[in-house]
Amino acid sequence: MRKSVQLNSVPVDSTAKSHLPAPVFRDDKHHIRIFQGDCLDILAALPEDYIDLIFADPPYFLSNDGITCQAGRMVSVNKGDWDRSRGADANHEFNRAWLAACQRVLKPNGTIWVSGTSHVIHSVGFAMQQLEFKLLNDISWVKPNPPPNLSCRYFTHATETIIWAAKNKKSRHAFNYKLMKETAGGKQMKSVWTMPPPESWEKRFGKHPAQKPVTLLERIILASSNEGDVVLDPFMGSGTTLVSALRLRRLSLGCEFELESVNLSLRRICSDLIQVEISVSCVQIFVDLPSRSMDRSRSTKYPHVNDAPPTRLVRRDRNFHFVGANPRDVVFTVAADDMTEAWTRFRNSAASATQVLFVIKTETEIYLAQ
């Protein structure tokens, strides 16, 4: 029998070294929690045997003052201080530490996926062997349009490796084989996946230097978890894991140290949480019936579009709806000419103390045939 999980109030493990901090974002309806801080501290405060699936995209330690090509331009490879190498031994100890923390919170049959290039993935694989994970697969993610190698002294880097491992040798991991076979066109899915990098629509709220595509995370989540499972991303970055988990009805937790990345993740996740459906019906009714003696020689089966009657605008409404963070509901609605006026009226209203998550503008125009 499957053990139920309550994500709304994550229990703190009695052996944890620290208390779980308050999340910077929580959504009880969709079971989402985002924590800002060092993932080692947050993982230490989570209970053992709690997570079904982990996807981790740790630092690749690539920020070495080199250059690369992006959109046809020469740019620096530096992503931030968090991605700067501290030396092979220190990098490996870091990988052992966060992998051990992830192993503790994984359920007995839980699995972990870790993405990386040659700069880090060999250390990750060795650390997994040292910690006695059960190695299941190494996936080669092939990028169809990789950036060119500017030095012309190496092969163009066109792949990343993703290691899939179970908690230990006794684990009976989940694998949705039939679904993956269907996805592969009726054949067993191979460990070489060709997928493009994140598309432009995935970056409309901002860019992250290590962003993964939604298609990649959706395949990983569908392959090795089920609806209602708990998914964790200890290096959340732009929030792709949590966005994918939300769409696939999984519970999710994310950890991220950088505030800018947390804000980017919130913008992406909240855009999926708010859905606006607009239904428009256009009905034309003619009450003047034609006489029986009408000249049918002038009638046509399909009248030209220019024969449509002229219309007259009779009403235009522009409303702004303020959606609160807690409670998640429309807390204030006002008719205004623009956003500035709407915010002014909100601040002067009784709802001004409410934290606003979104403002939705709706416009309605009513035309009558003349």
In CATH, what number is assigned to the domain containing residue 174? Answer: 3.40.50.150
For residue 66, name the pLDDT band (cuts at 50, 70, 90): low
Which among 273, 292, 318 is the end of a domain?
A: 273
**Mean pLDDT calculated for residue range 102-119:** 96
Q: What is the DSSP letter of 30?
A: T
One domain for residues 361 and 241: no
What does the pLDDT look like over 274-306, one tens digit per residue?
754 344 444 444 444 444 444 434 444 434 444
What does the pLDDT look like over 48-58, one tens digit per residue?
999 999 999 99
pLDDT at residue number 278: 40
One domain for residues 332 and 268: no
- Between 24 and 327, the more confident residue is 24
One domain for residues 78 and 211: yes
One domain for residues 123 and 255: yes
Using DSSP's 3-state secondary structure scheme, residue 200 falls into helix
One domain for residues 328 and 251: no
Which among 273, 291, 324 is the end of a domain?
A: 273
Q: How many domains does the chain have?
A: 2
**Structure tokens, 239:** 């929030």
One domain for residues 91 and 204: yes
Output the 3-class SS for 89-134.
Answer: HHHHHHHHHHHHHHHHHEEEEEEEEEEECCCCHHHHHHHHHHCCCE
Residue 182 lies in a domain: yes
Share above pLDDT 90 across residues of the chain, in percent, rounded to a whole number: 52
One domain for residues 131 and 72: yes
Residue 322 lies in a domain: yes
Residue 298 lies in a domain: no
Residue 16 lies in a domain: no
Instruction: Kindly tell me if the per-residue pLDDT of 79 is higher than 80.
Output: no
What does the pLDDT look like over 184-240, one tens digit per residue?
999 999 999 999 988 888 888 887 878 999 999 999 999 999 999 999 999 999 999
Instruction: Kindly tell me if the per-residue pLDDT of 9 is higher than 80.
Output: no
The residues, ordered by sequence, that sit 6+ positions from 216 with a Cβ below 8 Å of its Cβ are: 141, 193, 195
Say if CB 127 and CB 91 are below 8 A apart.
no
Q: What is the DSSP letter of 277?
A: -
For residue 46, name the pLDDT band (cuts at 50, 70, 90): very high
CA separation for the pair 141, 129 (Å, rounded) = 22
Range of the domain at 344: 309-369
Amino acid making up residue 136: L
**Structure tokens, 317:** 């409404």
pLDDT at residue number 298: 44
Residue 85 lies in a domain: yes
CA separation for the pair 107, 4 (Å, rounded) = 12
Nearest partner of 218 among 263, 180, 254, judged by Cα: 180
